[in-house]
C-alpha cells in the first residue's frame, strides 16, 4: 500500500512538473494568457507574504508590483532548477527584505501622511479575509488575525519568515529550504523557535481575551507538520 502511495505521489509530481513546464514555455513565449494566469495564481499570496515582512499595505502593494516586474523580466533566466512557486517566492522575499531595509533607512524618518494604522489594517484584512464565515466567526477570526499579525511583527527574523512560509503559506519543509536556501534542519530549527516566540507574544492576549472567544493557549500537536493553532471550547486557526 505504501508503495502504491509513493508511486501515485511520483506520478502526480511528474504531472505537475509537466504542466508547469508547459506554462513556463508559454510565459517565455510572451503569452498574455499565461501571464494573466500567473498574476491570478500568485498575486494575492505574494502580497500576503510581502505584507507580513514590510508591515505596510502601500509598501506591500508597491513591492508586489516590483516582484512581478522582476518575474516577467527574468522569466527567460528561469530554467526549472526549482519550482515556479519557489522561484517567485524567493524573489518576493528578496524584494520585501530590500524594501524593509530601505524603510528603516529612509521612510521611518519621515512624517507619515498615510491613513491611521487601524484603517490600513482594516483594508489589508479586507483583502485577506474569507467572507464565507458566519458573523460570529468573522468577529472571532478578525480579532485573532489582528493579534497574530501584530505578534508576528514582533518575532525576529529569520524565524518570522520561516513561520509565515510554513504555518500561513503552508509550504513544505523542502519548499521552504529551497526558498530560503538553507538546510531542512535549519528550517525545522527556525520553525520551532519561531512558534515558541509567537506563543510567548500571544500568551497575554489569550489569558485576557481567550475565554470570550473560547480559546486557550496556542499549542502544537504531536505531529510536527501540523500548524500552530489555538484550542479550547472553540478552535480558531491562527491562519488568516
Question: Residues 82-123: pLDDT tens digits?
Answer: 889 999 999 999 999 888 876 656 655 554 444 444 444 544
Average pLDDT for the chain: 74
The closest of 41, 44, 51, 236 to 161, measured between CA atoms, is 51
Task: For 108, list phi and psi in degrees, rounded to 5.
Answer: -65, -20
Do 81 and 195 reside in the same domain of the chain?
no
For residue 55, the model assigns a pLDDT of: 81
For residue 141, the model assigns a pLDDT of: 66
For residue 237, the model assigns a pLDDT of: 45
Centroid of chain to Cα 176: 11
- Looking at the structure of the chain, the number of domains it has is 2
Do 2 and 105 reside in the same domain of the chain?
yes
**Cα–Cα distance between 234 and 232 in angstroms, integer?**
5
Asked if 24 and 38 touch (Cβ cutoff 8 Å), the reply is: no
Instruction: Answer yes or no: is pLDDT of 131 > 70.
Output: no
**Cα–Cα distance between 130 and 203 in angstroms, integer?**
25
**Cα–Cα distance between 25 and 20 in angstroms, integer?**
8
Do 59 and 144 reside in the same domain of the chain?
no
Do 61 and 172 reside in the same domain of the chain?
no
Q: In this predicted model, what pLDDT tens digit does every residue of 175-219 receive, in sequence order?
A: 999 999 999 999 999 999 999 998 888 888 777 766 655 555 554
| Boundary of a domain, candidates 96, 128, 160 | 128
> Does 158 sit behind a cis peptide bond, omega within 30 degrees of 0 on the bond before it?
yes
Q: Would 134 be classed as within a structural domain? A: no
Do 54 and 105 reside in the same domain of the chain?
yes
Which residues, at least 6 apart from 81, have a Cβ–Cβ distance to it below 8 Å? none
% of the chain with per-residue pLDDT over 70: 63
What pTM was estimated for this model as a whole?
0.67
Neighbours of 216 (CB within 10 A): 15
Do 165 and 87 reside in the same domain of the chain?
no
- Going from the C-alpha of 15 to that of each of 21, 49, 179, the distances in angstroms are 10, 27, 22
Do 123 and 191 reside in the same domain of the chain?
no
* Residues spanned by the domain of 219: 139-240
Task: For 232, list phi and psi in degrees, rounded to 5.
Answer: 155, -155
Do 121 and 174 reside in the same domain of the chain?
no
CA atoms within 13 A on the CB side of 122: 6
Q: Would 133 be classed as within a structural domain? A: no
Q: What is the mean pLDDT of residues 161-166?
A: 91
Residue 42, C-alpha cell as written in the block: 500568485
Q: What is the mean pLDDT of residues 159-174?
A: 90
**Cα–Cα distance between 20 and 13 in angstroms, integer?**
10
Q: What is the mean pLDDT of residues 24-43?
A: 90
Which residues, at least 6 apart from 215, have a Cβ–Cβ distance to it below 8 Å? 144, 206, 209, 230, 231, 232, 234, 236
Amino acid at each position: 500500500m505504501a508503495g502504491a502511495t509513493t508511486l501515485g505521489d511520483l506520478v502526480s509530481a511528474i504531472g505537475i512538473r509537466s504542466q508547469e513546464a508547459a506554462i513556463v514555455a508559454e510565459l517565455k513565449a510572451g503569452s498574455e494568457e499565461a501571464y494573466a494566469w500567473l498574476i491570478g495564481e500568485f498575486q494575492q499570496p505574494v502580497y500576503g507574504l510581502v505584507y507580513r515582512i514590510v508591515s505596510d499595505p502601500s509598501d506591500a502593494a508597491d513591492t508586489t508590483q516590483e516582484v512581478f516586474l522582476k518575474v516577467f523580466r527574468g522569466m527567460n533566466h528561469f530554467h526549472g532548477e526549482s519550482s515556479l512557486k519557489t522561484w517567485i517566492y524567493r524573489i518576493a522575499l528578496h524584494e520585501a527584505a530590500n524594501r524593509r531595509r530601505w524603510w528603516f533607512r529612509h521612510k521611518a524618518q519621515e512624517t507619515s501622511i498615510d491613513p491611521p494604522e487601524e484603517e490600513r489594517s482594516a483594508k489589508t484584512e479586507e483583502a485577506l479575509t474569507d467572507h464565507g464565515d458566519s458573523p460570529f466567526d468573522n468577529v472571532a477570526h478578525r480579532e485573532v488575525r489582528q493579534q497574530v499579525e501584530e505578534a508576528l511583527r514582533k518575532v525576529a527574523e529569520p524565524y518570522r519568515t520561516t513561520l509565515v512560509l510554513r504555518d500561513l503559506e503552508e509550504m513544505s519543509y523542502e519548499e521552504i529550504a529551497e526558498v530560503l536556501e538553507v538546510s531542512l534542519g535549519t528550517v525545522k530549527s527556525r520553525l520551532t523557535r519561531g512558534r515558541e516566540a509567537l506563543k510567548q507574544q500571544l500568551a497575554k492576549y489569550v489569558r485576557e481575551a481567550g475565554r470570550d472567544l473560547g480559546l486557550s493557549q496556542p499549542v502544537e500537536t504531536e505531529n510536527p507538520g501540523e500548524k500552530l493553532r489555538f484550542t479550547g471550547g472553540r478552535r480558531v486557526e491562527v491562519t488568516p
